[in-house]
Structure 1
Amino acid sequence: MERRSFVRHAGLAGVLAASAAPAVVQAQAQLRWRLASSFPKSLDTIFGAAEVFAKKVAELTGGKFQISVHAGGEILPALQVVDAVQAGTVEIAHTAPYYFFGKDETFALGCAIPFGLNSRQMTAWMVEGNGLKLMREFYRGYNIVNVLGGNTGAQMGGWYRKEIKGIADMKGLKIRIGGFAGRVMERLGAVPQQIAGGEIYSALEKGTIDAAEWVGPYDDQKLGFNKVAPNYYYPGWWEGGPQLDFFINTKAYDGLSAEYKAVVDAASAIAHTGMQARYDARNPAALKQLVGSGTKLFKFPKDVMEAAFKESMAIYAELSARNPHWKKVYEDYASFRRDQNLWFRFAEAGFDDFMQAQKL
């Protein structure tokens, strides 16, 4: 999907949603898909994006195109959804692409990398930059077509049993951390663990891990992490703007009519923008409640941030030297990030810095 197509269909979403499905859509055949999510139903915001997507697809087709949504572990293990889409076991999945960086590190660039783009910048790269084009080219090798599936915004740095006072406290730390960031954590001396969202609490409670990161206050409160680890750190330097995707089996996607493809684009746009809106609206109250119940907030020490940044840049250089898929996408990503940071440094950061210092 080219960026102009995405924008055009995103605009179409409002028109279609405001009126009955047009006759050209109603004339299409009945269609039933299954969607496998990587997330538990308890996380209504992140899992809910798939429900929003499926609901809009049904609404915009007069009920002719139905997608049943299944939580992680319901019909597939949470981290096996890509394999299932590749094989055509299910038509579509909703997931965080960086979960699958073990297949190829380039998957992470479609979601989030340490010290990468924030959420607005990520959407800009995808929609108006070359991001969607480049990632589609890459995913083609995995029998996947991707459409945007939401963004959480910048995340928190996670929950820790003990305080992190400096880089030395990272040594031997067993931390649940998703995706590519684990490689950076390893270089800081930590021991990363890849654990699905629905299993994090029990691992933290049992002491199998010393720390865990997920998303932010709204989700973290629902998962109860504050009950087993009192120290809450920020920022999640590995997830400045993690984007989720809907991964569609190529044969299933190619089999859609032009009208149904337009519907998928429109529903994707609604789900994508809606996810971040819900997080931004719900995180403040959740953070207040967490702090009120005894959670201690800490900013990562400067030496941790600097060491993590240095190791991240070193890893990216190493990957560019050995992984041609990574090199092709990352060069474009890095150039876009450079220009975005120049712009955000002035208007966005200047405004935010002033406003956040005010007593309103």
Structure 2
Amino acid sequence: MKSIYYVAILSCLFLFTNCKDKKPKEGEKAGQAEAEVVIPAKPIFSFSFVGCNRVNWGDVTDSIPSTANRGVLERIFKEMVAEKQQTELFFFLGDLVLAESTLPKLNTQLAAWKKLYDANPISTSGIEMVAVPGNHEMLYSEKDKSGKYKEYPLKGATDIWLKYMGEYMPKNRDTVGGKESHINSMTFSFTRHNTGFIVMNTDTYNAPPTGKTHGKEGMVPTPWILNKIKEYQKDETIKHIFLLGHKPYYVCGVPRVDHKGLPEGPVIWPAMKAGGVTAMLSAHVHDYQRSQPGDEGPYQIVAGNGGSEGAATFFGYSTITILDDGNVELVSKGFDVGTPYNKVSDKPSTVRDRTMLTATKNANPYPCTN
């Protein structure tokens, strides 16, 4: 019993001396010798985005008048709604439908797409959808003299888009205004929490110049966009800025001003860099890509893996979370593309890309194979 007693006394003395504040080492301030408590960052809010879900020309069926890759679309919606931390906003970045031909076809397909969306549980989930037009909604294709198809602005497409998708634009948005306010109505900006969003219609209608048959593809109201970037940069309540539009400027890290990219990119991108914009979020290219041109400043994220056939190895959606420590996290999730592409894969969804969108060189580059 006596030995047990002495062991107990020694144990107490050991605990007492080790629970005292440790003497700081030379050069340390009092308290630095103790282990620091790291408090994890908390999310302020999240938003998701994806584009390009329309099927190929040869895969249009009367049973799916929306021309959506319906099975893939419904799986994306279901998984988005089921997220533990539900996204607040969902940007659909264009090419919802095939169209790209006549006003009657655009009208029929968008009407059917809206009906499909409104009948889906996502429409009552509390997730706010923001619809962004793509070239398949805004343009029509026609053979040129060489026999190649080219795309041109479709007069009247703006009215049809607004008829069906106008309700999926934020009510508190800022618009371009001026004498061309109607034509530019699908380019707008709005804020949520500490974040500013500038949404671009990257195929704004423009009439044919004198002596020409067609208007120009890929037009945007550049001066208004540049001014909005400056305005958000000066606003102390806005900590993050994002540009969103169907067409990207960088594809696999290479600037594109042709049909694949954004003709106004050489003007807009330097303004983004100077204005501290976090990223341009786009689709159009049927793939998922993430690049940081020059290894500093804004990112180009292409999320055209919403269900259209192309280079994408997985279909899904991407989510950006704004954290309270000032960081911005990107997570892209998805499931393997089926065979054929419009057959829904039974493979589970997994995280395909995760990184912090740092303004300095990203430590976790994403390879581009397209």
Question: How high is the TM-score relative to the length of structure 2?
Answer: 0.25
Whose radius of gyration is greater, 1 or 2? 2
Question: How high is the TM-score relative to the length of structure 1?
Answer: 0.25
Question: Which of the two has greater strand per residue?
Answer: 2
Question: Which of the two has greater helix per residue?
Answer: 1
Which of the pair has the greater relative contact order for Cα pairs under 8 Å at 6+ separation? 1
